[in-house]
Amino acid sequence: MPGRGKRKPTKPSDLTLQNPNKLKASPGEVTAVLRRILAENSHDYRWSYVTAVVCSLIVSGTTAFTAWIMAPMVNQIFYERRGDAIVWICAGFMAAFVLRGFAGYGQAVTLARIGNNLVARYQKRIFDHLMKLGVGFFNDTRSGRLAAQVNENVGGIRDLLSLTLTSIARDAVTLVGLLGVMVYQDPVLSLSSLLIGPPLIWAVVYLQRRVRRITRESVLINSRLIGAVQEATQGIAIVKAFTMEDELSGRISKLANDAEQRSNKIARVSERLSPISDMLAGLAVTSVIAYSGYRALVLGQPPGAVFSFITALILAYDPARRLARMQVGMERALVNARMIYELLDLEPKQGDAPDAAQAHFTTGEVRFNKVSFRYVEEAPVLQGLSFVAAAGKMTAVIGASGAGKTTLVALLQRFYDVEDGTIEIDGQDISKVTKQSLRSSIAYVSQAPYLFEGTIRDNIRYGRPSATDAEIEEAARLAAADEFIRQQPQGYDTPVGENGATLSGGQRQRVSIARAIVRQAPILLLDEATSALDNEAEARVQQALTKVMEGRTTIVIAHRLSTVVNADHIIVLEQGHLVEEGTHASLMADPHSVYARFHRIQGVKGLGLVDDSAPVETAVQDLETQTIAGSKT
């Protein structure tokens, strides 16, 4: 908003990045986050999880059965040479592989459906939560970076649940089953094989700490990269006009290199577990083979039990390795899930009062009672401001940039809450009514028109979703937009492109005015609504707005005094204070008034001595400069 200084951002992600201590998770944090996710979602997915667990148990059971059946296969077919055993052993193998195939398919599809639904659910939940946060949050948070971060982090919720389920229901159960087969076949060898556990656990704990820190840094850098690309593409006209291509390319290149380095570092740290686990597993397998070979050759023991044991040991390697890697993967998923909950746990600073009522405005009289306001860590923007915008009348607000004009409009819509004083509409304190009902009674046209993805008709209908096509077209006619809309390739159904890129600035502004008209609200706020229009279009829109403003309380902020000379009431602001108020005639009666000075400058602008498109305060500075220069001459 104009007139505001630079504020320190308060984004959780920035604070966390600046404070490395916040990257350290408490020992029970994985459990705490996982418990929260389960509490929020387990009820809705309980039968799907039952299906996935049953499928996992079948996979685990058939894997253990495959290792166990090796003993009778080797002993009865190859050692005892029993032909009758071939049929049932082959049937057992076939049944195990068929069951495992179908169970694996069922588990994968079920988990994929749960995961996809979780992603969609949290995306909708995050967006709903963002819509509850105040305007101040979005002023401090880059939209591109926020969208990128949310898109990247939301997968952490899905991954935590998927990793937990597959690890416990499949890998852990499979490993227990195979260990049971090993102990059954040879208890002594089983105990010796478990010696690889302690060094493997130590390696996992070490890698967990490293991955946690690097992953969070990677997420933040990637979000900055995607956000920077989005901003560059949205502002491509400015980029081209100021030949910023090389500068932005260098910036994007640096971010891309940083992201690449972090990703490579994650890969290096994460994959260190593979050679460690492979060496330990190789040591265990070779030791078992050597000892088993000695017993078979020297002691003459049947090889079936040994083959079954070795098969179980080899099959146990994969679930054991996945369980070890799962801890590293859980750290990455945990980082993403934590960042999502950091966002979801942000409390709206400007909620409705517990006893807030629905607003029912009849006439729309607006009253500011000694209103004071400042942004965070800034000097006051408004100080003891009091005035009345009469019901059904037009009140104009003028003043230099930074005087508090746009802040006044923001406070009226409760984008922020006042620091002191009250704002009333029809005698109702707006802080004691719901924001939804308050804003439903206000139609707003900003100085920077914003259009959403969709057609021209869609964008006008955002003013009132229940509006008919006839009402939309009538609003467009009142906003002097109907003519150019019908000249578009598809008329009212023409897509506007990203932020209305297919339309000119003046056309976008007229569409936004039509959106305000179709709202049919008792209060109309125009924040320099005609600033993007040429003189002819402005005259047509002003004529249309004159009709629209009839019977509505209208507050107009304008730099061009020609748009407010017919206002019923004019207030003049300077540095947050009301310095003058009255009608055009009464204010002009005092030649020394601030309003009269502004009006004289507007007249000089009309003579071409200063830029006619410049705002009043710029014109004042230009005129004073020329006057000083002329006096010196």
Q: Is the dihedral of CA 226, 231, 233, 239 positive or negative?
A: negative
Which of 583, 603, 620 marks a domain boundary? 583
90 and 229 part of one domain: yes
**Whether residues 51 and 83 fall in one domain:** yes
The confidence score (pLDDT) of residue 306 equals 74
- pLDDT tier for residue 610 given thresholds of 50, 70 and 90: very low
Per residue in 458-514, pLDDT (tens digit) is 999 999 999 999 999 999 988 888 989 999 999 999 999 877 878 887 888 889 889
371 shares its domain with 336:
no
User: How are strands ordered across the β-sheet holding 553-557?
Assistant: 442-445, 523-527, 553-557, 394-399, 569-574, 577-582
Sign for the pseudo-dihedral over CA of 14, 19, 24, 26: negative
Examine the domain organization and report whether 391 and 525 are in the same domain.
Answer: yes
Q: Which domain holds residue 375?
A: 366-583
b vs e for 126-148, b when ≥16 Cβ sit within 10 Å of the residue's Cβ? beeebeebbebbeeebbebbbeb
> Is the Cβ–Cβ distance between 390 and 367 less than 8 Å?
no
pLDDT of residue 536: 74
Q: What is the pLDDT of residues 36-91, one digit of tens each?
A: 888 888 888 888 888 988 988 898 888 888 888 888 888 777 777 777 788 888 88
- The whole-number average pLDDT for the span 1-7 is 39
Residue 8: how many other CB atoms lie within 10 Å: 8
Question: Exposure string (b/e) for 421-434, b if CB count within 10 Å is 16 or more?
Answer: bebbbbeeebbebb
- Position 531, amino acid: S
Residues 333 and 377 placed together within one structural domain of the fold? no
What sign does the dihedral 92-93-96-97 (CA atoms) show? negative
Residue 4 domain flag: no
105 shares its domain with 229: yes
pLDDT score at 14: 39
In a domain, 633, yes or no: no
Q: What CATH number should be reported for the domain holding residue 218?
A: 1.20.1560.10
164 in the same domain as 47: yes
* 268, 196: one domain: yes
Q: What is the CATH number of the domain that holds 421?
A: 3.40.50.300
Give the range with max mean pLDDT: 168-177, 504-513, 596-605: 504-513
Note whether 119 and 157 are same-domain residues.
yes
Q: Give the residue from 286, 312, 344 where a domain finishes.
A: 344
| Phi, psi angle pair for 82, to nearest 5° | -95, 115
Do 291 and 397 reside in the same domain of the chain?
Answer: no
Quote helix, strand, coil % in the chain, to nearest 5: 65, 10, 25
Q: What is the mean pLDDT of residues 618-624?
A: 46
Contacting residues for 218 by C-beta, under 8 A, at least 6 apart: 259, 262, 263, 266
Mean pLDDT of the chain: 78
In a domain, 600, yes or no: no
The answer to whether residues 336 and 420 belong to one domain is: no
For residues 553-577, average pLDDT: 86
Extract long-range pairs of 250-256: CB within 8 Å, 24+ residues apart. Answer: 252/225, 252/228, 255/221, 255/224, 255/225, 255/228, 256/225
Residue 411 lies in a domain: yes
User: Do 340 and 372 have their domain in common?
Assistant: no
Q: Say what the pLDDT of residue 194 is.
A: 65
Asked if residue 146 has pLDDT above 80, the reply is no
Domain count, the chain: 2
| Across 195-200, average pLDDT | 65
For range 167-183, the mean pLDDT: 79
Whether residue 337 is contained in a domain is answered as yes
Q: Would you say residue 210 lies in a domain?
A: yes
Lookup: tokens for 475: 């609003």
Show which of 344, 377, 404 is a domain's final residue.
344
Q: Which of 122-126, 183-187, 200-204, 568-572 has the lowest mean pLDDT?
A: 200-204
Question: Containing H/E element for 54?
Answer: helix 29-68
- Cβ–Cβ under 8 Å, residues 252 and 229: yes
Supply the DSSP symbol for 455: B
* 608 inside domain: no
Q: Which of 10-14, 103-107, 450-454 has the lowest mean pLDDT?
A: 10-14
